[in-house]
Amino acid sequence: MEEIELERQGVVYASTVVRVSSPAGIKAPYAYGYVDLPANQLRVFALFTGADPGSFVPGRKVEVVLEPIGADTEGNAVIGYKFRPVSG
Amino acid sequence: MRDVYIIGAGMTQFGKHLERSLRDLGREACLLAFRDAGIAPKEVEAGYCGNALAPAIQGETGVGQNVFWEVGISGIPIVNVENACASGSTALREGWMAVAGGFYNVVMITGVEKAVMPKGTMLNVGAGELATKLGEVFPGYFATIAQKHMERFGTTREQMAQVSVKNHIHGALNPYAQFQKKFTLEEVLKSPMIADPLTLFSCCPNSDGAAALILCSKEKARKLNGRAIRIAASVLATGTYENQRDITNWEVEIRAAQQAYKMASLGPEDLDVVEVHDAFTICEILHYEGLGLCPLGEGGRLIEERATELGGSIPVNPSGGLLSKGHPVGASGVAQVVEIVWHLRGQAGERQVEGAKVGLADMMGGNKEGDTRACTVHILVKE
């Protein structure tokens, strides 16, 4: 096993807006999908943030950001990765 | 390898059975299969039970032993099979292999599930997966597939909704279906959005129910009722989880279907009736293509042309499919085959596909890495 560093920017491959709250505790509506990281030839599952949920159409450029994604059973924030639109 | 025949088939109505237990539902299905086959429980040499969610929902394990004991079966080998939505169909394949391989002459298959959830909640399964922890839900995965299919092939929301309209027309003819109610295209499209572009009536319900089959060798079938249906192919395949694959088709399904056609020495053009895993409307369109009922990308056109309705050139999901018949997860794969058996015997009532001689049942189970964990294909032939 070898650890590699992934590029921080990618392109939305596919997306959806979920209109019902998830069992993982995320309030609707929320957007997720798959982001392609071309330099790594890798596709990752990702929640989207920082823009209208319906705006993460395939082809949109996005970048990774660390954010709370929920809380554990003891109320501690759980930090995860999300993708937001590339700024500028 | 020996030929294997289905000599008994039975199922409960699918739906909400809030007052009934897993073993109660399983017992009903097994007793119906025994009555149909005209054999006694003591003739069964091994039992296979498909169930996916009892450990998570009811906190119950060993469902197979519980159900089979309800019909007086103990002592023999009993196997519990979990393969997500393909649990029941994988149990069928295990039983088929055991008879085909000469280990037993008579085996029983059952699939049973109680998956009705409180209103407004979704099944929380796959909790070990990162994507699930992050918020992935079943409808969302299929919604991304729908988005890409629309983008690549021009498939429309109306074509997808037509799958639900068709399957509810069929389900309205099936006394075993959870919903016996038709919907208009408009009603499907305007039902609440779950995960864009999939609306509520584009998603199958959570259901309770059970189904059962009895399989036997050719010699045993000869001595029985003369209505035996041959299993011409039984295939199980697993996804490759290819990271950057095109999600507008399931390679695993194309591969499983090709293996099944080869095993049966038949092709998609030989099929008279098909049952597929329409957990969401877009799935049925992908299955048309994966099974070769039409070329890749033309599934939307096939539903629009009404080819897959009863009376069309290749009826798909005459039972109503998961969308209308319901989806008690571990039972669904067995129930599909029960339905095909009924059509091949001419016992499917108002929804009968006239003169059906060859049928196919296609089931997919579980998502992993944007791919499918399990895919089963069974081809049945009336001789």
pLDDT digits (tens, 9 = 90+) for A10-67: 999 999 999 988 777 788 999 999 999 999 999 999 999 999 999 999 999 999 999 9
C-alpha pair distances (Å), A52 with each of A14, A28, A32: 15, 12, 12
Q: What's the Rg (C-alpha) of chain B?
A: 19
Which pair of structure tokens corresponds to residue B63? 């469902």
pLDDT band at B13, cuts 50/70/90? very high
Q: How far apart are the first and last CA of chain B?
A: 18
Please give the pLDDT value at position B117: 79
Interface test with A, best of B144, B148, B160 (most A CBs within 10 A): B144
pLDDT band at B226, cuts 50/70/90? confident
Interface test with A, best of B53, B130, B134 (most A CBs within 10 A): B134
Please give the pLDDT value at position B121: 63
Please give the pLDDT value at position B373: 92
Contacts of A46 in chain B (CB under 8 A): 134
Query: A–B: how many Cβ contacts below 8 A?
Result: 80
Separation between Cα atoms, residue B319 and residue B276, nearest integer Å: 10
Q: What's the Rg (C-alpha) of chain A?
A: 14
pLDDT band at B318, cuts 50/70/90? very high
Q: What is the mean pLDDT of chain B?
A: 95
> Taking the complete model, does pTM exceed 0.90, yes or no?
yes
Can you tell me the ipTM of this complex?
0.93
Residue of B nearest to A57 (CA): B147
Helix axes B63-70, B22-37, angle to 10 degrees: 50
pLDDT band at B367, cuts 50/70/90? confident
Please give the pLDDT value at position B124: 62
Instruction: Output DSSP code: residue B312.
Output: S
